[in-house]
A and B are shown apart, each in its own frame.
Chain A
């Protein structure tokens, strides 16, 4: 399975966790790491190229830092322009049909702060609903998110641990070892991989 990571980080030069997370990602054949802010600093997205990329892959990952409970602006622009009617959705828009979709998120707060009765008021699964529903509309198979929590206070060992999980996730996807049905049972893909690794 070929995996496309759409990475969106407007201030990557200030990032700590994501620098580690994406390091070496573009090294494998079956994983394409696509750095959107690097490719389109002027927001002038090449729609044809993006659609071409999408059709060449079987799994699409939105990888971004969780800013204001949402994704960075360029990723929204990407959705608006690339997911066109008749191509991505609608009765004749079947180009994404059956492909896997999930988000890989780095969030500042710890997992416990993302509950309905806690500091952030909602779970991340709830907060990414627009993305999941968009993927549904494009007839994609939506998976639980991959989340690195607590990046505001994270230590390097924890980052390295998450990096190993992310790498394993990508490897399983690439080598077709990933079990969709099983993964759907979990809240997030971190849990699924952790269980499989045990």
Chain B
């Protein structure tokens, strides 16, 4: 059993690792890569996986749930409110009109009962959230008008599934079948009267909103205080799975539930940490989902009636495309956005699989209708990335007008030029100083207490590990000018610097260094502005000691500056020599040796007097003689020639 699991995991992961980079290289996008990988390992090509592909798909659908959670996290409630028109208007019209047209076409060209035709229409009206959002994200088009509208429609579809599921049993024309799928067992809720059911559902949604707002924050704070990073990940997963369970129990879409939770948490300080924690799981599961879709395409069926399937796919895509395009036009979308919107959503979705199997169980359709439908939906999903590419490469350049870049400004929230990684004793000083001088900064910190404090004061602060490029990205590193690294752990500072250098080469980085070796590592990482944390205060203390022993304040001031420069230069020298003899500054003995060298250099340095300009010694030596010779009388001298430098 266990060996079986590992074998399967190996096949799936291996296929992904081989196919996805190839697809990416060919410019096909990761979704198509996964789909192709699925087809390849599926029963009809290599045959590595068989019928269990279906089960994997059900499991991997959880990736869609996670994706919607992440989408929700990106959406402030205010933005969602702004989208209400396009969600209801665009989404409602798309689902309604597409369902009616597809049903009408089905009635015209087949001998299906009207109930079945209607069910088919409703089923095919839905698009694939997973493929569309993943592809839009990958292309960076999510925040364009077309992307936002596509998202609105998908959101409406997610909501619409619930009434459609409730409506299906009323369309039954066949004998009820009892397929033991294990996924859609009777819910206890269904035995309740409809009003109670509605109340329970509303209660469930309310509890997610309430919990997200008031319970999750403190809970995560407690978890974060344990400083066990993995515990946070565990909690994040627990949250998503918990909501999924709750929603399933109530017969609601888990994707919708997690989406709501995401929106509620979008304003929480843990938003970015949640994002970074859930993201890899989502990616993995979604990839698995796409592979499963690819593997489940029934080539035997397609082979037996290729013309029918081709017609179905073509008709499905064409009808959806036209409906979407017309609605887009009605809603005043510009050409290029409308193209993206229409081509993006013109496919069947993963909900079709759910609805079809539900329809089979409830006698809405029979297998003869369902099987070609499933095949057509899977193929249309697989074609989506290709369609979007065709749109991008051939249609848009010729018919679309290019969108101006500055349109999305209102979607992005306030942007600070400065990002401070670490708000401890050290970073807080910097933050306070900048704040006092009217410079707003964005803070990243791993300590929940700091995050709390900053939030209370109204600062823009994110909880999380600043060495992760996605967190830096979320903090606006793309547009920021300066990154200040003040974290406690030297290795972390180096990591942050490296990540930032790699992903945001335009950023100027200045960093705190904890030790000589840290300093030297930072130099190696290409940082020039490095601040040793003990340098200023120890030198200040030394300076006061010098003043206490009778030195003039200004003399001390200059001595400190001189020493600092000397020290800096020396450290840089030593650091560059490190590479020549291969070892330096590591371990106690080394440090002592270096300290000895530095102290010797200090003595030499001290001999070079910087205040020569104020030293009248040599001036006296030269001019005293001269003045004595020419002016040493009580009566004014008749000396009239100017001094020429030679007596």
Where the two chains meet, the residues of A that have a C-beta atom closer than 8 Å to any C-beta of B are: 10-14, 37-39, 41-42, 67, 74, 108-113, 115, 117-119, 121, 150, 152-153
Contacts and interface: CB of A to CB of B under 8 A. Distances in A.
A152 B553 contact: no
Given A14-B616, A110-B631, A118-B640, A41 B611 contact: no
Contacts of A121: 642
Interface residues on B, range: 20 to 34
A37 B611 CA distance: 15
Interface of B: 551-557, 611, 614-616, 619-620, 623-624, 627-628, 630-633, 636-637, 639-640, 642-643
B637 A118 contact: yes
A119 B616 contact: no
A64 B639 CA distance: 27
A91 B620 CA distance: 47
Contacts of B630: 119
A66 to B, nearest CB: 11
Contact of B627 (A13, A39, A41, A152): A152
B556 A113 contact: no
B555 A153 contact: no
Contacts, number: 73
A113 B552 contact: no
Given A39-B553, A112-B633, A152-B620, 8 more contacts: A13-B551, A13-B555, A14-B611, A38-B552, A108-B623, A111-B631, A118-B639, A152-B627
A153 B628 contact: yes
A17 to B, nearest CB: 10
24 contacts: A10-B614, A11-B614, A12-B552, A14-B614, A37-B552, A39-B553, A41-B554, A41-B556, A41-B557, A42-B557, A108-B616, A108-B620, A110-B631, A110-B632, A112-B633, A112-B636, A112-B639, A118-B637, A118-B642, A119-B639, A150-B627, A150-B631, A152-B616, A153-B624
Nearest to A67: B614
Nearest to A119: B643
* Interface core residue of A113, A117, A119 (most chain B CB under 10 Å): A119
Nearest to A8: B554
B194 to A, nearest CB: 77
A110 B628 CA distance: 9
Contacts of A110: 627, 631-632
Contacts of A112: 631, 633, 636-637, 639
A109 B623 contact: yes
Contacts of B611: 11, 14
Contacts of B633: 112
Nearest to B560: A41
B554 A37 contact: yes
Contacts of A115: 636
Nearest to A72: B614
B146 to A, nearest CB: 57
Contacts of A153: 620, 623-624, 627-628
A139 B627 CA distance: 38
A107 to B, nearest CB: 11
B601 to A, nearest CB: 24
A11 B627 contact: no
Contacts of A37: 552-554
Given A108-B619, A152-B616, A41 B553 contact: yes
B620 A38 contact: no
A169 B110 CA distance: 121
A115 B627 CA distance: 14
* Interface core residue of A37, A38, A112 (most chain B CB under 10 Å): A112
9 tightest A-B contacts by CB?
A: A11-B614, A41-B557, A41-B553, A153-B624, A37-B554, A110-B631, A41-B554, A112-B637, A112-B631
* Interface core residue of B551, B628, B631, B637 (most chain A CB under 10 Å): B631
Contacts of B643: 119
A16 B292 CA distance: 92
